[in-house]
Amino acid sequence: MIVLSVLYFVVMVLLLFGITIFVHELGHFVVARKLGMKAEVFSIGFGHAIWKKKHDGVIYKIGWIPFGGYVALPQMEPGGGKTTDEAGNEVPLPRVAPWRKILVALAGAVGNIILAVIIAFFIFWMGKPAAPHEVSNRVGYVATNSQAYAVGLRAGDAVVAIRAVDGAEPVGWLGRLVNRILPGSGEPTWEETRNWQDVSMLASLAQEVELRVVTEEGEERVLTVMTEVGALGVKGVRGIPGVDGISYCSVQFPMKGSSAEAAGVLPGDTIVEFNGVRLFSRAQLQDLVNEFPDQEVPMKVERDGEEIELFVTPSFDPDHGRAMIGVRFDDFAVDPTQLVHPPPMQQIRQHASLILRTLRALVTPREARTAASQIGGPPMIFIYLWYMVRAGLVMALWFTCLLNVNLAIINLMPLPVLDGGHIVFSLIEMGLRRPLNEKLVGRITAVFAVLLISAMLFLSVRDVDRFRGSAPAPAPTEEEAPEEAVPENESDQP
C-alpha cells in the first residue's frame, strides 16, 4: 500500500510539473511553426532521451532530467541560424524578422498564463482549503514601534469594519470610484470586513481610516490610523504600516542541531503559544523569540489535535541579526476544514504579486539577504509539489497554477538565455535595423548560461542540504497515524 502511495505521488508530481513545461514549450513551438520558422527539436526534460520520435522533420523527445525543456529554433539566432539537411550538410536558414522572434519568445509565457487561468477557474469551481487571510479578519501582527500599536491595536483583535476618516481624501481611481457609488454621496460609511483581504482593500482606499475592532475579550473599540504607500510590500498600494493578518506557525521541519530539534519539535507541528502568549502569526513569534536569547522558554505545539508543552532556548544568529529557535515554516499552511472559492483573476494576481515581491526584494539591499535565503531550486519545487499532492488534488493544482504564473514572469526577465533576453536582443535589432553580431550574442548568452546553471546547482545543493532528513513520508493510513494538516504562504525561520 505504501509503495502504491509513493508511486502515485511520484507520478502526479512529474505529471503536473511536466504539463507546466509542456505548455510553455508548446507555446514557442506552435507560434514558431505558424510563422514559418524551422523547429528541429521539441523536448520535455534534458539529457539523454528515454523516448524520442521524429515526425515531419521535428524530433520529439523526453529527457531523463525532468528539470525543464526546450524547443530548438535555429532562426531565433541573430543571423538566422543553420540546420542540417538529410545528407548531413549545414544549410543556412533565412533570417527572421525581429517582431516574429518577439512573438515566439512571448508565446511560452502566454501558454503558462492560459494554463494558470484554466486551473484557477477549476479551483474557483471546486473550492480550496482556506489560507488564514481568506477566512479571518483578525490581526496577526502589530509592530511595537508602529502607530497602530501606539493607538492600541493588538494581535488577536478582529477588524470588523473600516471607514475613511471624515474629510480624508480617497486615494487612487478605485478609492474615488467607491466614494462615488457608495450610499451617502461621498460621506464616509462603515464597511464590514469578512477577512483580511477585505481589511487590506478597504484600508488602501484612504489616507486615514477608522478601524472598528473587537478584542479577544469581546471589547469593541474604534481606532484611527494613517495608511502609507508600500506598507503591504506592494509598490504603489497603500496599507496600514506595521500591521498584518494572521498566519499559521506550522513547522515544515526543525533545523538540524537547533534548539527546536533538541526540544522535540517535529515536522507537522503547529506552534500555538510561546512563553504564555497565544500566537497569531509567524512575525509575532519572531518578535517574541528575539526577546529571550539564551533563555529557556516554554512553548506549546499542537500535534495530532493535542497541545504539548516543550522548552526551547533561542540563540542569536549573526546572519539574521536576531535570536532564533531554528525551524522552517510550512510556506503553504491552510485550514483543510474550510473551503473558499477565490475568483480566478484574484488567484492570478496573488500568484504574480508573490514572485514580483520576491524579485523586488532581491534588488533591495536591506531585504536581499533574507529574500535570497528563501529562494529554492528544482528540488524545492518538486518537494513542494510532493507536499501539495499529499494535501489533495485541489492544492496540487493550486500550486501548479502558482508555478505557471511564476515560470511565465521569470522567463520574461530581460536576461540572455531566458525568453526575456531574446525579446531584448530582438528589440535592439529592430532599433539598429540590422542583425546583431552573432559571436557577441553567443558569448553573452554563454556567460549567462554558465551563471544560470551554476545558480541552479548551488540552489539544488542547498535545497538537498536544507531538506535532508525531512523528506515527506507517504501519506499515513488510518492505522498508522491521523491525517496530517495540509501544507499555503511565506516562510521564515524564527
pLDDT per position as a tens digit, 96-138: 889 999 999 999 999 999 999 999 999 999 999 888 888 899 9
Q: What is the pLDDT of residues 182-203, one digit of tens each?
A: 544 456 788 899 999 889 888 8
The pLDDT > 70 percentage for the chain reads 84
Given a contact cutoff of 8 angstroms between Cβ atoms, the answer to whether 268 and 393 are in contact is no
Q: Which of 160, 237, 164, 239 lies closest to 193 in space, CA to CA?
A: 160
pLDDT in the model for residue 374? 67
Q: Is this model's pTM higher than 0.85 or not?
A: no
pLDDT tier, 236 (very low <50, low <70, confident <90, very high otherwise): low
pLDDT in the model for residue 88? 66
Q: Find cell 493510513 and name the residue.
A: 477
pLDDT in the model for residue 491? 38
Could you give the CA distance from residue 270 to residue 248 in angstroms, rounded to a whole number? 7
3-state secondary structure of 418: coil
pLDDT tier, 85 (very low <50, low <70, confident <90, very high otherwise): low
| String of DSSP letters for 259-272 | HHHHHT--TT-EEE
Could you give the CA distance from residue 99 to residue 426 in angstroms, rounded to a whole number? 7
pLDDT in the model for residue 385? 85
pLDDT in the model for residue 370? 62
- Give the residue, 142 or 205, on which the prediction is more confident: 142
Domains and CATH numbers, the chain: 1-38+73-129+343-468 (no CATH), 148-244 (no CATH), 251-329 (2.30.42.10)
Which helix or strand (DSSP H or E) is residue 133 part of? helix 132-135
Which helix or strand (DSSP H or E) is residue 68 part of? strand 58-72
Q: What is the pLDDT of residues 439-477, one digit of tens each?
A: 888 889 889 889 888 888 888 887 777 666 444 433 333
Q: Which three cell numbers stand for residue 367?
A: 531585504
- Give the residue, 85 or 52, on which the prediction is more confident: 52
pLDDT tier, 66 (very low <50, low <70, confident <90, very high otherwise): confident
Could you give the CA distance from residue 256 to residue 328 in angstroms, rounded to a whole number? 11
